[in-house]
Structure formats: C-alpha cells, structure tokens
Chain A
Amino acid sequence: MKSFGYTLKQSFVQFGRNLNMSLISIFAITCMMLILSLFFILVINVSTAAETIKGDYDSIEIFLDDKTTPEQADDMITDLKAQDGVDDAYYKSKEQAMAEFRDRWGENGYLLDSLEDNPLPNSVVIVIGDLEKADALAAHAEKFDGIEDVKYYKSTVDKLLEATRFVQIGALVIMIFLIIISIVVVSNTIKLTVFNRAEEISIMKYVGATNWFIRGPFLGEGIIIGIISAAISVGLTYFVYGKLVDMLGEQVYQMLSMPMVPVNFLIVNFAWIFLALGVSIGSCGSIISMRRFLDA
C-alpha cells in the first residue's frame, strides 16, 4: 500500500495514453451494463409484483349470498377456525370490500363513485396458515350453505411464481453472459496496452519490479474503465427509468393495480451493484490480459 499513490497516478497516465481504446471499452461496457440494467429493472419489478400478489392471495375468500345472515357467517367462521391449517377467519362486509377496492385504486378511486349501489358481496376470508391444506379447505368451504362462490387463487399464484422464477433465472443467465463479454472486452483493451508495452514490462522485471507492482497501473486502468462505465450506466438508468415511471407508472397501476418500483429506491441498489460490477469487470479483465506477459 506504500506505493498506492504511485500506482494510482500511473493508472491515470496509462488510461490517458490509451485513451481511444479506453473510450471504446467504456462504450462497449456501458452498452452491456445498460442491457443488464434493463434486465435488473424487469426482474426487480416482476419480483416485487409477485411478492405483492402472493401476499394478497394467500387466502381463500368465500363470497356469501346476499340472503345469508351474519349469524350464519359466524357459524362458518367458528367451523373454519377449528379446521387444520387455518390461521384466521373473519367476516368482510361489502362496505369493507368496497373500501379496500377504493384503496387499491388510489387516486383513481373517484371512478367508483359513479356506481349506484355496491356490487360487491359480503364474504368470509380464510387466512391460510399451511398452504398444503389450502385445497382441502377450499373443498370444505364449498359445502357451506348460503354461499355464492369460493375464490381461491392458488393455481394463479403458482403459475405467477413459476413465471417469475423463469424470468429471474433467464435474466440471471443473460446477465452472467453479458458480464463475461464485458470482461473479455476489457481484457482485450488492456492486452493491447500490455502488448505495446511488453518491452517495458520486461525491463521493469529486469530491474526487479514484482508482478504486482507492474500489474498495479494496468489493474488501475481496468478499474477506471469499469467505474466510468458504471457511472454512465447508473446515470442513464436513473434518467430513463425515472422518465418511464413518470410516463407509465399510472397506467401500469391502473392495469395491474401494482405500482412500479420507484426510481430512487432502485437507483441506490443499482449504484452499488454496478460499482461492484465495474470494479470486478475491470480488474478481472486486466489480470487476465496480463497473465501471459507476467509468467516466467
């Protein structure tokens, strides 16, 4: 670490001397990172959505006939609470249901004001403790008198989670692929410098410089390339995704009753991830590119 200042200075000198190739690398890696960030945004939004939906639907809703009395509902609740795998069961009046609905629609809730009377039924909600028992509970609920319908979303949730997992794994594979390409790009850029400086490197070794001492500035050059690419990518992502949320956020919310992940929350995580990624891509690239020149 004594020579950190020296290495840092040399890194910038080297970056400058190799400016054209450095800029080309930065361009290429920034492109990779932007594609990466696209996938990140997709994965984060899908995962968040999946979590929300799962939370919403870990329950069975029994819609009651309008003729069913609250006493009958109470009997059902008592019966259900005695069943295996039930965490809780409670009554939800049509007024409560409407209020929730309004809540979910948020600013657009005024649209519901135009309804003459409340079309929503009263219901009994079962909060499921043990998902294994969900199917049996749904079947049990079907047998009650005075019910209109039993809504249980397990298969929907399952499908959704499966789709989410597919998106996550697919994105991960593509991201790893992109990261490897980035490393190759950096390593080729630096190999060019190293190649031009093979003579210099051999002289340094004659004078007694250690491999790490020689590697330092090249490592620095790679890391500088990585950090600049990360900074540009994070900046662009912040700008573009911010605009996207501004433009589409409301529509997405109306269509899916799900908010997009806010840009400020996203960008903080992004900044760290991309910084780490840039540093790793840069250092891996430079170490790989020097291997051949430093052995022996």
Chain B
Amino acid sequence: MIVFDHVSKYYKSNVGLDDVSVRINEGDFVFLVGPSGSGKSTFIKLLIHEINADKGSIKIRGHEVTNMSARHVPILRRRVGIVFQDFRLLPKKTVYENVAFAMEIIHKPKKLIKKNVPQVLTMMGIADKADKYPDELSAGEQQRVAIARAIINRPRVLIADEPTGNLDPDTAWEIMQLLNQINQRGTTIIMVTHAKDIVDKMGKRVIAIEKGRIVRDEFGAYGYQEALENAEMTFDTIQIQRRDTSRIRFRRGGDEK
C-alpha cells in the first residue's frame, strides 16, 4: 500500500504539491491525470525520493520515504520499477545488457541473469532484439526494453511517467496491454498520462491533480476538460513530428463529436 499523508512540496516560486492525502492499494492500477504543471511529476519524484517532501509523510508498504537517507534511496529504487516517457535506456549497452544491468546492481548471479533476462524479453515481445542497441530500435521497442528493465527484479510497484507520450496510438495501446498484464500479476501500477482514449478505455481508478491538489479521485474516465486540451496539444505536436498527418485528422475528428 502507498500512503500520502498531507504531503506538500514547494519549489521556489511554485507549488509542486499542496497538502495531498491519498491511498493506493496493493495491486491497484491508478491513472494520474491533470494539466501540465499541475504536480503529477512532482508526485512521482516524491515517490522515488528524487525530491524530498517539505511536509507530510509518504509510505510505501510501510516504509517511510520522506527524509530517507541517501544510503537507502538505491534500495527504494530497486523495489519500485520506473518507466519514463523518454525511455532512459543506457545507450552504450545492448537491450540484453540494459535489462541485465538492473540485476547486476543487486549482485544477482550470472546464471540467474542469463535465465531471467530472456524470459522478460520474451514476455515483452522483443526477444529477437536482445543484441541490438537502443538507437537501433523503434520507440515502442525501446519502451518495451525500459519496462523489461523496470520489472526484471519483480518490484511490487511500477511507476510510469507518461510512458506512451512518445508513441503512436497503436504502439501506445500495445504498451498498455503489457502494463495491464503486469498489473494482473499483482504489481501496483501508477501511471501519469495525457491520453484520454487510453484512460477511458481502461476504466481504472483516475486521480486528477490541479495546482498541486487532488481535485477528483474516481473509477472510470479521464473526464477532465482543461487537461484534455493540454493533452491534445501535446499529441498534435508529437504526431506532426512523426509526420503521421492522417492520424491527426482522425483524432481531431474524433474529439469534435
């Protein structure tokens, strides 16, 4: 269980999070939505102790995360898998080595690494890419590697900050299926997203944040208009970058309904 208890985080002139209290149960699948700058990334950074809360307490499975000593941070990071929008793979390591790295840092025996890494790569559908380097892969494949790395040590919690943000809708949906699969095996998933269609389709718990406060927490749909506009802007930009104009028209059409 993850518990935020009256957590606040202030930046110099901005509010990151403002008195947020929330509980996320083991095995839950939670979407974190809200407009840009509302505090979603702050929420996640607090969870992995990339930044420290100014007020309140954050507990993951009973372990206090706030004011954690630097020595304990690596241990926290190993218990919580993390996936980012920009994949963050080690560029000079192959797919296999990238995933193996997460096991090497906890001194897992080579034999076990040789057994587990191919298993996870198969599960992610990229077994044939083991010897490729990240820059030889498509965006979707890179995200699969990142997820493989995040789950190889079987963390109880998987955090994803806009994991489909750089992916086209079909690929994004494939990634969602993988996350769903991982969730069904018991892993708690917290996912930040702007993708309305995904949130609507999945029908999971949705926590909406605005100006650092939780403004809505319910099961079901994205249903947040201001955020929606933001999301579409982001989407358009990415789509244009990918020169996939047919899809943009299709999306816009869909929204006007």
Contacts and interface: CB of A to CB of B under 8 A. Distances in A.
Contacts of A210: 74, 105
Interface stretch (B89-97, B162-170, B218-226, B245-253): B89-97
A207 B101 contact: yes
B225 to A, nearest CB: 33
Interface string A84-120: 0000000000000000000000000000000000000
A207 B91 contact: no
A2 B107 CA distance: 7
Contacts of B78: 207-208
A221 to B, nearest CB: 15
Nearest to B83: A206
A3 B107 contact: yes
B63 interface: no
Given A3-B107, A208-B102, A213-B105, A203 B90 contact: yes
Contacts of A174: none
Identify the interface centre among A6, A17, A206: most chain B CB within 10 Å of its CB.
A206
Contact of A3 (B48, B70, B104): B104
A158 interface: no
A18 B132 CA distance: 23
Given A2-B107, A208-B105, A213-B105, A203 B77 contact: no
A207 B77 contact: yes
B104 A208 contact: no
Interface string B113-146: 0000000000000000000000000000000000
Given A209-B74, A210-B74, A204 B105 contact: yes
Contact of A6 (B82, B84, B90, B104): B104
B89 A203 contact: yes
Contacts of B48: 206
State the main secondary structure of chain B at its contact with A. mixed
Nearest to A6: B104
A133 interface: no
A87 to B, nearest CB: 63
B77 A206 contact: yes
Given A209-B74, A210-B74, A204 B101 contact: yes
Contacts of A65: none
Identify the interface centre among A3, A17, A210: most chain B CB within 10 Å of its CB.
A210
A210 to B, nearest CB: 4
Identify the interface centre among A2, A6, A209: most chain B CB within 10 Å of its CB.
A209
18 contacts: A6-B104, A17-B92, A199-B91, A200-B90, A200-B92, A203-B89, A203-B90, A205-B73, A205-B77, A206-B82, A207-B149, A208-B76, A208-B77, A208-B105, A209-B101, A210-B74, A210-B105, A295-B70
